[in-house]
Chains A and B, each alone.
Chain A
Amino acid sequence: AQTVTQSQPEMSVQEAETVTLSCTYDTSENNYYLFWYKQPPSRQMILVIRQEAYKQQNATENRFSVNFQKAAKSFSLKISDSQLGDTAMYFCAFMKLGAGSYQLTFGKGTKLSVIP
């Protein structure tokens, strides 16, 4: 079974600054995806960024980037130039490939507040 751990229940950052959210996971699988999902207040979860485990290059989506350390089983999210709209719960998630169902295993989430 897989586990995902987010050790920071809450974080805050000043607008325009950079913040890093931590995530570690445990698995014996070799083929998997890792995700960061964002859930703004009273809104649905949306995908922020995805990393395929077989890719060494860290994924980047505009202001969002990850630091994927496969050997250390670490998958942190960096948000640059933080904006007020980044205020949300952020969930790290793991998906084993090849099972045919695309089931996600989530961390407990980090509540990020961007302060004006």
Chain B
Amino acid sequence: EPEVTQTPSHQVTQMGQEVILRCVPISNHLYFYWYRQILGQKVEFLVSFYNNEISEKSEIFDDQFSVERPDGSNFTLKIRSTKLEDSAMYFCASSEAGTENTGELFFGEGSRLTVL
């Protein structure tokens, strides 16, 4: 069964460093998302991406964050200069679009980011 895959599963970085989290969405999906979950808190929406551009973003997704679909298969989240409060589990998700869309998002296993 097709899956969303994410790499790395865990990354430790120093504050101020750049981090890129990678995701391979399900191949026929057209909408892509990043969510994050700080330990003990809710899963929060960061950004959605469709047709090679951001379709919606939350207030969390500030100028330190960017997303890209560089090669038609990967979907990346870049954090330019990490802060301690960026430590979280980051989930990638994808979904179909159009009339066959049931609203279901397919999630990856997550990438745990630890900022020291």
Contact between A44 and B42, CB atoms less than 8 A apart: no
Contact between A105 and B45, CB atoms less than 8 A apart: yes
Contact of B42 (CB < 8 Å), options: A97, A101, A107: A107
- What is the bound-complex CA distance between A68 and B6, given in angstroms? 34
Say whether B52 faces chain A, with CB atoms less than 8 Å apart.
Answer: no
Contact of A101 (CB < 8 Å), options: B35, B43, B50: B50
- The residue among B3, B101, B107, B110 with the most chain A CB atoms within 10 A of its own CB is B107
Contacts A50-B104, A106-B43 hold; do A99 and B56 have CB atoms under 8 A apart? yes
In the complex, per-residue mask of B32-59: 1 if CB is within 8 Å of any chain A CB, else 0: 0101000001111100101000011000
Query: Which residues in A have their C-beta under 8 angstroms from that of B102?
Result: 50
In the complex, per-residue mask of B91-108: 1 if CB is within 8 Å of any chain A CB, else 0: 100010000011111011
Say whether B75 faces chain A, with CB atoms less than 8 Å apart.
Answer: no
Give min CB distance, A54 to chain B, whole Å. 13
Contact between B108 and A44, CB atoms less than 8 A apart: yes
Contact between A101 and B56, CB atoms less than 8 A apart: yes
- What is the bound-complex CA distance between A44 and B106, given in angstroms? 9
- What is the bound-complex CA distance between A105 and B45, given in angstroms? 7
In the complex, the chain B residue whose C-beta lies closest to that of A93 is B43
- A72-106 residues with Cβ-Cβ distance < 8 A to B are 91, 95, 97, 99-106
- What is the bound-complex CA distance between A35 and B55, given in angstroms? 22
- The residue among A91, A100, A107 with the most chain B CB atoms within 10 A of its own CB is A100
Query: Which residues in B have their C-beta under 8 angstroms from that of A109?
Result: 42-43
Say whether B109 faces chain A, with CB atoms less than 8 Å apart.
Answer: yes
Contacts A101-B50, A103-B48, A106-B43 hold; do A44 and B104 have CB atoms under 8 A apart? no
Q: 17 A-B pairs, CB-CB below 8 angstroms?
A: A35-B103, A43-B109, A44-B3, A44-B110, A47-B105, A95-B103, A100-B50, A100-B56, A101-B31, A101-B55, A102-B95, A102-B101, A102-B105, A103-B33, A104-B105, A106-B43, A106-B44
Interface residues, chain A, CB within 8 Å of chain B? 33, 35, 37, 42-47, 50, 91, 95, 97, 99-109
